[in-house]
């Protein structure tokens, strides 16, 4: 099950706690909805078996980047050591797919995550069912 989420990678923000309760930020809710929509449009399968998840986050190259560095970024010699943190990218995607791609994200028993620069910012996700 492979699918792509267009746009800059987004991480899960900490929930906000108020005297009226706990809630996710609007940015987190919007991105989770985008993940769900992309999954349902490109893939729409469901499993209750253990899964392996692979996430490759491609960051856009900043407009202020010197031309000599662009090829180094695209070839992987310069890495995107910037926010969001890799674990927050995984968290927002795994949580968004609860009940849609799998029953619960506890079924993810192995994960591979990578950050790179790309000409087009996006996140590519692949979910593979494991034989156990």
Q: What is the DSSP letter of 107?
A: G
Tens of pLDDT along 71-91? Answer: 899 988 999 988 999 999 999
In which residue ranges of the chain is pLDDT below 70? Answer: 130-132
DSSP strand E in the chain: where? 2-6, 16-18, 21-23, 51-59, 108-117, 122-129
Mean pLDDT taken over the chain = 89
* DSSP character string of 3-39: EEEESS--PPPPPEEETTEEE--HHHHHHHHHHHHHH
pLDDT on residue 130: 64
Domains and CATH numbers, the chain: 2-129 (3.30.1330.70)
Which pLDDT belongs to residue 129?
A: 82
């Amino acid at each position: 099950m492979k699918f792509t989420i267009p746009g800059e990678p987004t991480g899960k923000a900490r929930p906000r706690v108020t005297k009226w309760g706990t809630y996710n930020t609007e940015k987190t809710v919007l991105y989770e909805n985008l993940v769900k929509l992309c999954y349902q449009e490109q893939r729409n399968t469901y499993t209750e078996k253990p899964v392996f998840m692979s996430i490759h986050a491609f960051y856009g190259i900043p407009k202020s980047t010197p031309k000599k560095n662009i090829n180094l970024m695209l070839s992987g010699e310069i890495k995107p050591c910037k926010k969001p943190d890799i674990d927050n990218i995984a968290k927002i995607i795994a949580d968004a797919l609860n009940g849609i791609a799998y029953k619960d994200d506890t079924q993810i028993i192995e994960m591979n995550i990578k950050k790179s620069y790309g000409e087009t910012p996006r996140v590519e996700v692949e979910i593979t069912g494991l034989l156990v």
